Structure 1
Amino acid sequence: MKSHHILVLSLVALLVASCNPESKGKHLFILSGQSNMVGLLPEESFTPVIQARFGKDNVIVVKDAHGGQPIRRWYKDWKPLQGNEPKAQPDLYDSLWTKTNTAIQKEKIATVTFIWMQGERDAREKLGDVYEESLIGLYDQLSADLKRNDLNFIIGRLSDFDIQNEKYPHWTLIRDIQVKVAESNPRFGWIDTDDLNDGYNKNGKEIRNDLHMSEEGYIEMGKRFAEQAILLVKD
């Protein structure tokens, strides 16, 4: 009879452990990109939503973003459509990787979600013709470095700032590419930012269809990224 009780208790312990998210590892969220990612403060809206879903102790959020930078500052194999200039200079990826690798030391990672808000610089420099290859290449690059084939990928589509392609000639081209890539894989997704660049910016200036998001827009963007991430993460 005693052995029977021990067996039951052992089975209960195993069941509890299997239901505990901590036993499977933590959920890693990597946020990167240029100025509109710089403006997003994860602690304002992204991280609270993620923690409410997965638990504060089960989440790692890493952000490393730099304003005004093209994707070639992250993607190591970036090449122009013609010629040899400009060249890839992936120092910002090295910075992101160092920060990420430091954050996950001695941690068991259950899932990884890569969140990307970038493309304005490439649209301005008319480099949209190689943006699709670069976007997928960056995803593959991070997957290889993390030694995983199950990364989730969320892209913030460029806003409606220059729908007429007047100041940034490849604006709509890159918007379309971002959606195309995001819809090419069940692990991928995208968020709409068209309504986030109206209102008042962080300096109190009224804006409309601005290059950057409003103060409330950044808060909402964080929520949208979090909600899309929750849909993709399988815990």
Structure 2
Amino acid sequence: MKSVLLFVLFFMTSLNAQDLEKHLFILSGQSNMARLNPKLTFTPTVEAAFGKENVVVVKDAMGGRPIRLWYKDWKPREGDEPKATGELYDRLMKKVNAAAKGQEFETVTFIWMQGERDASEGHGEVYAESLNGLIHQLSEDLGRDDLYFVIGRLSDFDMMNVKYPHWTMVREAQVQLAEASPRGTWVDTDDLNDGIDRKGNVLENDLHYSPEGYKILGTRFAEESIALISGSNSVGSAENGM
């Protein structure tokens, strides 16, 4: 009888240990995230690092959307319009809660690729504050104070701020926020928007990335996530273009 109890105790302990080895990855943003297929490079890379059974990947993204559709306390620099809605955040969290139900995770990592719309609308002055607020909003809702995050920095699409007046402002805000946190980092996308698109058209400093560019982006997101989790990440390293 004693040996049976010991076996059950050992088995339950092993299950708990395995459960805590699990890692949750939450991907969201606008079009450049929407066009990224995690199954091509992101998911295989994190599964290779942690084991397929220990990885849960959730993605929800929609093109052309500002951060106020995620961050519920978003406010413009002046006035009270436009209003924050948080509708895409709620949609994302439905997927997260469904995928994570009944599981415990050793780590949770938020991967964010967004900012083009805010740069276009001229909301760069509140972007760092808004993204920081979104990260804290997610941390609180998940009940975690150890959330990791990886930001896809805006590319070199409009470095003169001609079409999108706050392009470089948002780009710089993303880097500053990532480098200010020991749990955050960012990835470079400047080399992903050249090449050939799915229709055979030539891309050069385009708003969107080439099919190969999205594969590379998925790999970079995965590698930076793994580095954060393993403690080997160096924010603002040469790999990130600094």
Question: CA shift at 1:24, angstroms?
Answer: 1.8
- AA aligned to 1:76 is K
Percent identity for Structure 1 against Structure 2:
59
Partner in structure 1 of residue 22 of structure 2: 26
Question: CA shift at 1:233, angstroms?
Answer: 1.2
**Alignment partner of 1:155 is 2:151:** yes
Please, which of 220, 224, 242 is the counterpart of residue 224 of structure 1? 220
1:160-175 aligned within 5 A: 160-175=156-171
Q: Secondary structure of 2:106's partner?
A: strand
Give distance in 2, aligned partners of 1:167 and 1:104: 40
Question: CA shift at 1:64, angstroms?
Answer: 0.2
Partner in structure 2 of residue 63 of structure 1: 59
Partner in structure 2 of residue 189 of structure 1: 185
Give distance in 2, aligned partners of 1:122 and 1:204: 29
Partner in structure 1 of residue 234 of structure 2: none
Partner in structure 1 of residue 40 of structure 2: 44
- TM-score w.r.t. structure 1 length? 0.91
Give distance in 1, aligned partners of 2:200 and 2:189: 20
Kept after mapping to 1: 8 A contact 2:36/2:214 = yes
1:156-205 Cα deviation digits (max 9, x unpaired): 00000000100000000001000000001110000000000000112221
- AA aligned to 2:84 is A
Question: CA shift at 1:32, angstroms?
Answer: 0.1
Kept after mapping to 1: 8 A contact 2:19/2:105 = no
Kept after mapping to 1: 8 A contact 2:19/2:103 = no
Kept after mapping to 1: 8 A contact 2:66/2:118 = yes
Question: CA shift at 1:217, angstroms?
Answer: 0.2
Q: CA RMSD in A?
A: 1.9
Please, which of 109, 114, 117 is the counterpart of residue 110 of structure 2? 114
Please identify runs of 4+ aligned residues in structure 1 that moved more than 6 A.
none
Structure 1: runs of 5 or more not aligned: none
Rg (Cα) greater in structure: 1
CA distance 1:75–1:191, change in 2 (3 Å): same
Number of residue pairs the alignment of both structures matches: 225
Kept after mapping to 2: 8 A contact 1:111/1:234 = no
Give distance in 2, aligned partners of 1:202 and 1:30: 26
Kept after mapping to 2: 8 A contact 1:123/1:169 = yes
Structure 2: runs of 5 or more not aligned: 232-242
Q: Secondary structure of 1:153's partner?
A: strand
